[in-house]
Amino acid sequence: MKKLIIISILLLSGLESFTQDIWSFNDKSFNISVYTDSVKYDSTVQNYGRVVTKIEIFKDNKNIQTIKPEIFIHEPYLDSNFIFQYIDVNFDGQKDIVLVNWISTSLYTTSWYWIFDPNTQKFLEDSSLNHLMNVQVDQNKKCIYTYWRIGMNEFGHAIYQWENNKLILKIEQCEYWGLDPSTPVTRVIKENVKGKLVEKEYKVKEHNIMNKWELYELLWK
């Protein structure tokens, strides 16, 4: 009985050590503190995750903004740089705030975004990217690349660009595979032509989606 009590105390002590943590992300413009806390997944004592409770933005040692995001429980092993990013999303020269809000078992993600607004000097939530999965910000091409997979039969990826502060789909490719490997694949390509999406459908034998660079070449052909 005494041994069981000691083990329980050790387990609880370990859980108490996983409490609030503060991550720092800084540049010449702002100092950002990301506050996290532990929270239970369920009734199992050992099953704890991590929640970002608030984001504080400082300029010249003064708190100019506090963001309190919705609750999302992250696995405790995930790295701070995986959960939170301070990067220039809209290519205006000022970094923005990105916080992961969904993670699949394959580590596919979606996120919340707060874009810096030079007029208010605040980070304003922008929902235009919320539905995009696995976002990669390409600073060289000034574009947003995203890719996804739905089940075993649908694969896709797309390229977006900012135009007049709006995120515009430039090109998208989806492939729909049948259960029978010998069945031709349906490939659908949507391309933005002078502001209108033009859709083309093909039947192809190969069960291989274009890679990222092939999609790039198709857009900048």
Which pLDDT band holds residue 45 (cuts at 50, 70, 90)?
A: low
Provide the whole-model pTM: 0.85
Distance, CA of 46 to CA of 205 (rounded, Å): 49
Q: What is the mean pLDDT of residues 201-212?
A: 81
**213 falls within a domain:** yes
Give the number of residues written for the chain. Answer: 221
The parent domain of residue 193 ranges over 132-221
The answer, yes or no, to whether residue 114 has pLDDT greater than 70, is: yes
* Best CA proximity match to 80, nearest among 119, 52, 42, 47: 52
**170 falls within a domain:** yes
**24 falls within a domain:** no
**201 falls within a domain:** yes
The answer, yes or no, to whether residue 19 has pLDDT greater than 70, is: no
pLDDT in tens, 157-206: 999 999 999 999 999 999 888 777 677 788 899 999 999 999 999 888 77
Looking at the 3D structure of the chain, how many domains does it have?
A: 1
Which CA distances in Å does 168 have to 145, 190, 193, 208?
A: 12, 12, 12, 26
CB 17 within 8 A of CB 11: no
* Best CA proximity match to 112, nearest among 132, 92, 95, 93: 132
The residues, ordered by sequence, that sit 6+ positions from 56 with a Cβ below 8 Å of its Cβ are 32, 33, 35, 63, 65, 66, 67
**204 falls within a domain:** yes
**180 falls within a domain:** yes
The residues, ordered by sequence, that sit 6+ positions from 70 with a Cβ below 8 Å of its Cβ are 101, 112
Q: What angle do CA 174, 179, 185 make, to 5 degrees?
A: 35
* Best CA proximity match to 148, nearest among 177, 180, 173, 114: 173
Of the candidate ranges 98-102, 150-154, 172-176, the one whose mean pLDDT is the lowest = 150-154
> What local confidence, expressed as pLDDT, does residue 48 receive?
80
State whether residue 107 is helix, strand or coil. Answer: coil
